[in-house]
Amino acid sequence: MGLLDKLDKPFDSGNILITGVDTLFNWARLSSLWQMGFGLACCAIEMMAASASHYDMMRFGVIPRPSPRQSDIMIISGTVTLKMASRIKILFEQMPDPKYIISMGSCSNCGGPYWEHGYHVLKGVDRVIPVDVYVPGCPPRPEALLEGLMKLQEKVRAQSLARV
């Protein structure tokens, strides 16, 4: 049982997997999308419901993290006021790459019910930070948020290291 024998038949004894770098990295990334643990308004209640045992977002690898430095995705769950917008931008800049944004609910998509008379509301968080997935609803049900999360996973699966 010498080393030379193993070199002749490298795959016989198991524990070796042939894969592409893109596939491996994307699989790792999409399976552990750690989420920044913060909520803004009533959508945050649905986000918490999605995290809780009934919908169990953790089975997709989404763990709420208390720091932007450890997060991969930020779920903008609620009304983005002008006061909060500058803070969100700072938090986004503090997140390490690769980072993804899910805009959850009408308010953060386009201003929602505050679109006309909201003197204090940013009409869409995409005016401040880039958004990957928009989840419609007011507020969206946890299933809708999970669907958005799976859309984001599809997007991550199609990425390539050469392009990102």
Partner 1 sequence: MTAAEIVEKLSANFYQKVGEWHEMKASPYMTRMGSYMDVTDASFIRDICLFLRDEPDLVFNNLMLLSSLDNGDKTFSVVYHLESMTLKHIFALKVTVPEANPIVPSVVSVWNHANWQEREAWDMMGIQFQGHPDLRRILLDEDYPGFPLRKDFKTPEFFRGMKVPY
Residue 120 as a binder of partner 1 (CB under 8 A): the answer is: yes
Taking the C-alpha atoms of residue 153 and residue 6, their distance in angstroms, rounded to an integer, is 38
Residue type, 13: S
Residue 115 as a binder of partner 1 (CB under 8 A): the answer is: yes
Mark 65-92 as b/e (b = at least 16 C-beta within 10 Å): beebeebbbbbbbbbbbeebbeebeebb
Binding part of the chain for partner 1, among 64-72, 112-120, 137-145, 150-158 by CB under 8 A, reads 112-120
CA 53 to chain CA mean position, Å: 19
Binding part of the chain for partner 1, among 22-30, 55-63, 71-79, 117-125 by CB under 8 A, reads 117-125
Q: Pick from 2, 8, 19, 119: which binds partner 1 (CB under 8 A)?
A: 119
Q: Pick from 127, 143, 154, 160: which binds partner 1 (CB under 8 A)?
A: 127
Q: How many C-beta neighbours within 10 Å does residue 103 have?
A: 26
Q: Which is nearer to partner 1, 82 or 150 (CB)?
A: 82
Minimum CB separation from partner 1 for residue 42, in Å?
18
